[in-house]
Chain A
Amino acid sequence: MTLSFETKRQLGYRLMMAPALLLMGAFIVFPAFYAFSLSLTNDALLGFAAKESSFVGLRNFTRLFGDPLFWNSLKVTLVFVIGSAVIGQFVLGFAAALCLQQPVKYKSIFNAIICLPNAVPEMVVGFLWISMYASGEYGTLNRIIAWFGIAPQQWLYTFPLFSIIIVNTWRGIAFSMILLTSGLAAIPKDIYEAARVDGATDKQIFLRITLPMMMPTIFLYLFISTVTTFAIFGLVYTLSRGGPANSTEILGIYIYNQSFTSFQLGYGAAVAVISLVVSMVLGLVYVRALKVEV
């Protein structure tokens, strides 16, 4: 039997996709299903349940919906995502991308400076900012404000969530800038030239040409950054471990605390399942309602 050209081509595509699918199946799909099955048990790392766990149905989910710490964690996560990914990284990254479209001297140096934070591992960023935010007179930020006669602050205590939003914004600008720069580069230059010939102002060009033509890229960026920021763990764990008073306990930290500090795997898995569902819903909103092409 000889295969047609089209069949061979389709087979080739499938073969090329197979390694990626296999890896996704092993490290994403299977763990997700395993987490769901775990969430229906009282499995734990300590106590009798660690030796022999039993099926508890939806008990973990019932408990979860009645737990004020879970709702707090969800709220903190949403504020963190909106503050750092949607507002911080996007606005600053877009501004940087627009600026670097202009003929700026030493553009490559600015590019490198903006990209540097993204090259530093998450945990290292955490430790770096611990030193920035350190309380007492030796913290870097406290030294800076001391020049203006302001008393030392306990940054991570007084402005905990805002402080971690700043760090994540700082770290994520590079990705946002790179993606949005590629979007800007794809807008044909002759449209701008035509607009200028017609006497359009800079503001009009931005609002009527740049922004509408950038929308697909912007939504793609927002989709990616929302989902990845939702899954952040190391950065916040290093900086605050979720404190003070749970004010920075994003879902990733809450899941870790339940699974590996309180050692309740079943409950931790239930929170992880809910976290996955929330991420998927957000993803669907972007894909369906905002027509993001992925």
Chain B
Amino acid sequence: MSLNIRQLLAQFAGGLLFVTGAAVTGAVAAETIKKPTLIIAEHRSARLAALYSLEEVIEARVGVNLKIVEYPAPAQDYFTKLVTELRAGNAPDVFTIPRDLQLDDLAAAGYLADLSPAMQAWPGYRHLPELIKSLAKGSFDDRSYAVPSIVAIEQLYYRHDLLEKLAISTAQPQDWQDLLARARQIKTRTGQFPLLFPAGLTWGMGAYTEGYRYLLAGFSEYKLLDKQGRYRLAEDAPRQAFEFYQTLIREDLMPVKPLLNPEPWVIPKYEMFPKGQLMITTCGTWCRVFDWGANSRNPIANVEQAVGTWKIPSVDGSQPFVLASMVYAWAVNAQSRQRPLATQLALALGEVDVALAYAQKLGNVPARMDAKQHPQYAALGTLSEAHQQLPQARALRTTVGANVIMAGVARATEALLIGREDAEGAQQLLVNYVSSVLGDEAISKE
């Protein structure tokens, strides 16, 4: 076999190319191997989709390999799995805290790394509203334990299209009586259920977060905690909030039977509201995306116009308000073997581009106010209006034991739903439950 010069040169060039290619690939592989791996927990398809879309960017930003572990989708199942793993010491390096009011219980248990110094040094920190900064801190030690990323703005959502058709006022209700009068008017005119405030045991923590909390926050002078950090449950405000539920139940203004089902939100929120059998419900910014958006199970046509929002009316006619909840804030496992890197990762996940990607997919708003300057901000659409409301939003601060408060409210509202207790009995049930679990000292005697 003979080769001419040209063939020889071609073979030489090919060989050179192969060797160079192999060397580069080897170097890249070595680089990949050298990078430390951080384990991150994520759940629900929309959140997973957001994280996977950002995976490479985040890996490059922090200089790590990410191992994304998919957790169960239902919020309660996710939280239970996470907590048991944290207790067992085999939880991921970085994870999310579904709701701000779970932060204290996790921090008090010693599961969360203290991020205070890193947060103070982080440029994004100054762009967080004060309310959100405070929700990211432990109420008992004022240390920062989470990196806020997105926020849910919660208020009342109503069927604007149907109320207009019925010539029922769509003006903002100013106080509870105003809201009840509107509800009675709807009931008389349509025979349908006008209003939903989540309640009952099977709704779980939502009985508090998506129902009772809206009412308690309506007392402008009331705070859930006294100066010593004890729960003020034996006072007038909690009883009046139960009385509001009692009125809704006794006057048949709220659907009760569906709330006793294993998945109590399915019938009222996903079926009755889209069908116009329920006119007003408590909800957050996610509702127009998940519950009634184009890709939901029962979409409402032209949802942005068909479903309007009212701020939450206060009990005494003071300024109506919206609630802000820090949802899915990033936290670092206190037992992580790579805490400094995990902290860097959590901070990277608090950046605006990440928050915007998540917010769009989940129907929430970014926690940081400088998100407005980001080119992708326009993609938020009408969510940007909710983002503007963030600095004026209200939150009802809880402390360690919030989980017990939520369980107690679920029990008390269940007792109201099935008619076992009246408002006073429900309040007593809540107080007794909280004292029996947290001790008498957890209840304010002031």
Question: Any chain A CB within 8 A of the CB of B262?
Answer: yes
The secondary structure that dominates the B interface is helix
The one of A47, A69, A263 that contacts B400, using a Cβ cutoff of 8 Å: A47
Query: Could you tell me which residues of chain A, from 243 to 283, have a CB within 8 Å of some CB in chain B?
Result: 243-246, 260-264, 267
B 87-106 to A, binary, CB cutoff 8 A, 1 in contact else 0: 10000000000000000011
Residue in chain B with minimal CB distance to A43: B87
CA of A261 to CA of B106 in the docked complex: distance in angstroms?
14
Question: Any chain B CB within 8 A of the CB of A51?
Answer: yes
B 390-423 to A, binary, CB cutoff 8 A, 1 in contact else 0: 0000000000110110010001001001100000
B80 touches A260 (CB 8 A): yes
A244 touches B400 (CB 8 A): no
A188 to chain B, nearest CB (A): 51
A50 touches B260 (CB 8 A): no
Question: Any chain B CB within 8 A of the CB of A241?
Answer: yes
Residue in chain B with minimal CB distance to A52: B110
CA of A73 to CA of B106 in the docked complex: distance in angstroms?
29
A133 to chain B, nearest CB (A): 11
B109 touches A241 (CB 8 A): no
Interface residue tally of chain B, by bracket? Answer: 20 to 34
Question: Any chain B CB within 8 A of the CB of A48?
Answer: yes
A50-B110, A51-B110, A244-B262 known; A45+B407 contact, CB < 8 A: no
Question: Any chain B CB within 8 A of the CB of A156?
Answer: yes
A50 touches B404 (CB 8 A): no
A46-B403, A51-B108 known; A243+B261 contact, CB < 8 A: yes
A47 touches B201 (CB 8 A): no
Query: Could you tell me which residues of chain A, from 23 to 60, have a CB within 8 Å of some CB in chain B?
Result: 44-48, 50-51
Question: Any chain A CB within 8 A of the CB of B437?
Answer: yes
* Contact partners of B111 in chain A: CB under 8 A: 50
* Contact partners of A260 in chain B: CB under 8 A: 80, 84
CA of A11 to CA of B383 in the docked complex: distance in angstroms?
77
CA of A239 to CA of B261 in the docked complex: distance in angstroms?
11
B108 touches A245 (CB 8 A): no
* Contact partners of A243 in chain B: CB under 8 A: 201-202, 260-262
A157 touches B108 (CB 8 A): no
CA of A246 to CA of B200 in the docked complex: distance in angstroms?
10
A 54-76 to B, binary, CB cutoff 8 A, 1 in contact else 0: 00000000010011010000000
A127 to chain B, nearest CB (A): 13
A157-B260, A245-B417, A261-B80 known; A45+B437 contact, CB < 8 A: no
Residue in chain A with minimal CB distance to B418: A245
B109 touches A45 (CB 8 A): yes
Residue in chain A with minimal CB distance to B435: A63
A240 touches B262 (CB 8 A): yes
CA of A264 to CA of B404 in the docked complex: distance in angstroms?
9
A45-B109, A63-B436, A261-B204 known; A245+B84 contact, CB < 8 A: no
Question: Any chain A CB within 8 A of the CB of B83?
Answer: yes
Query: Could you tell me which residues of chain B, from 217 to 260, have a CB within 8 Å of some CB in chain A?
Result: 257, 260
* Contact partners of A240 in chain B: CB under 8 A: 262
- A interface residues, Cβ below 8 angstroms from B: 44-48, 50-51, 63, 66-67, 69, 154, 156-157, 239-246, 260-264, 267
